[in-house]
Amino acid sequence: MSGLLKLQVCRATLTRDVYIIETMDPFFVASISPHKSYTSSVKDNQGKYPIWNEDCEFQVAKGDNNLIIAVYTGEKEVK
C-alpha cells in the first residue's frame, strides 16, 4: 500500500536555548526514511519560538512507519 503524506509544520516551542550569547537560527528536518527527507528554511534569530509555516510531501510505501521531525541550529539538535 502506498500514498501521499502531506505535512505542514507551523511552529515550535523549544525547551532550551543551546547558545548563551547569540540567538538560535533554527531549522527542522522531517524524514520518513533515510532516503526521504525534507529540510526547512533557516529562521534567523527566532530563538526558542521559530515559525515556519512550511508544507512538505512524502510518497510513502509499506514499511515507511516512522515520521521523525528534528529541530537543529547550526549542527546542534535542539529538543
Scored b (16 or more CB within 10 A) or e, 18-55 reads eeeeeebbbbbebbbeeeeebebeebeebeeebebebe
The total domain count for the chain is 1
pLDDT at 58: 94
Output the tens digit of pLDDT for each of the chain's 79 residues.
789 999 999 999 988 877 778 888 899 999 998 889 999 999 888 888 999 999 999 999 888 889 999 999 876 677 6
Expressed as residue numbers, the domain containing 20 is 3-78
CATH code for the domain in which residue 22 is found: 2.60.40.150
**What gap in Å lies between CA 36 and CA 34, rounded to an integer?**
6
Read off the pTM: 0.84
Task: Please state the separation of Cα 18 from the chain's center in Å.
Answer: 16
